[in-house]
Amino acid sequence: MSAAASVAGAAVIWIILLGPVITLITRMSPGDLASALTGPGDLDPLITSVESGLVTLGVLILLCTPLAWMLARGRLPFPRVWEAGLLCALLLPPLVIGLLLVFMVGPYTWVGGVLDWLHQSATNTFLALVIAEVYESAPYYVLGATAAFASVDTRLEEQAGLLGDPPRRVFRRITLPLAAPGLAMSLAVAWARAIGAFGAVVIIAYHPFGIPLQIYTTLQETGLYSALPYALILLVVALPLPLAAYIWSARAERRRRG
């Protein structure tokens, strides 16, 4: 009896959490979706979001993975200071990040000056969109990737070294495969954050439109119903990577258990 009650309770919470998704699907018809996406330029926000999201992921992998590894292996002095900085970035409201980014990389700053000299700008450009998405998603990726690397037993790395592998090969053959499920999940979370970034984006990169801004402007200009197809597109674009990462992690874990 109590087991059945627990399952029922869990199911109620699950349905409540999934409520927005269920609402979105039940409120939409294929016709709404088709009419929202068949006009000229209708797919541009989607393309912008996917492109900026992919570039953001590339930046995170290249710059934040080594940082996460160094944090996990205690290779940085004063580790608490580094962690506090990451938490600070995580806890900063996105709107505030956008506001501060204007004062950091805007046209009247020295960074803006350098970018201007390079015929670039960090406001209302694709670059600005990527910068905003990186700031909104990086802390999630770094913290997740740090935990993924920290979960790899250093004694295994040590053993691989004693069996003749230099550190780079140990990283490739032991550290990376063992941390991969956690890294994939962190990357998936970062992707969802990047593709759905709005707070910082609305201030520093109002143009070009990604999907979140398309939803916002459609909502402002033509009402709730017109924004729903874009909400569904955002969901469809944002979800597959996390889902794939989750399924792949689960399969990797099952394979390890044999």
Partner 1 sequence: MLSADVEVDRRDFTVRAALSVADGERVALFGPSGAGKTTVLEMIAGLVTPRRGLIELNGRVLTSTAPPAVAVPPWQRRVGLLRQDPGLFPHLSVRANLLYARSAAGGAELDSLAAQLGIDGLLPAMPAQLSGGQRHRVALGRLLLAHCDALLLDEPFAGLDAALRRTLTALVSHLCAERGVPSVLVTHQLTDAQAFASRLAVISEGQIVQEGAPDEVVLRPASRLVAGLVGYLGFVPAGDGLVAGVHPDRVVPGADPGRGLVVSGDIVAARPSGAGWEADVRAGDAAFTCRLPGRPAGERVSVTLLDAPCFGPDGALRDVTHSRSSNPA
Binding site for partner 1 (CB under 8 A): 153, 155-156, 158-167, 170, 174, 177-178, 252, 255-258
Q: Which of 246, 129, 127, 141 is nearest to 190 (CA)?
A: 141
**By C-beta, is 39 or 258 nearer to partner 1?**
258
Smallest separation (angstroms) from partner 1 to the CB of 180: 9
| Residues 145 and 190 sit within 8 Å (Cβ to Cβ) | no
> Do 89 and 138 meet the contact criterion of CB atoms below 8 Å apart?
yes
Which CB, 80 or 257, lies closer to partner 1? Answer: 257
Closer of 136 and 157 to partner 1 (Cβ): 157
Q: Which is nearer to partner 1, 32 or 165 (CB)?
A: 165
Q: What share of the chain is helix, strand, coil (3-state, %, to 5)?
A: 80, 0, 20
Q: How far is the CB of 125 from partner 1 (least distance, A)?
A: 43
Provide the minimum distance between the beta carbon of 253 and partner 1 in the complex, in angstroms, as a whole number: 10
For residue 191 the two structure tokens come to: 């992707």
- The backbone torsions φ and ψ at residue 144, rounded to the nearest 5 degrees and listed phi first, read -65, -45
Cβ 178 to partner 1, closest distance in Å? 6
Q: C-beta of 148: minimal distance to partner 1 in Å? A: 14
Query: Alpha-carbon distance 222 to 217, whole Å?
Result: 8
Cα dist. 135→20, 70, 189, 228 in Å? 26, 20, 14, 27
Contact 145, 182 (CB under 8 A): yes
What's the closest the beta carbon of residue 170 comes to partner 1, in angstroms?
A: 8
Contact at 8 Å (CB) between 120 and 161?
no
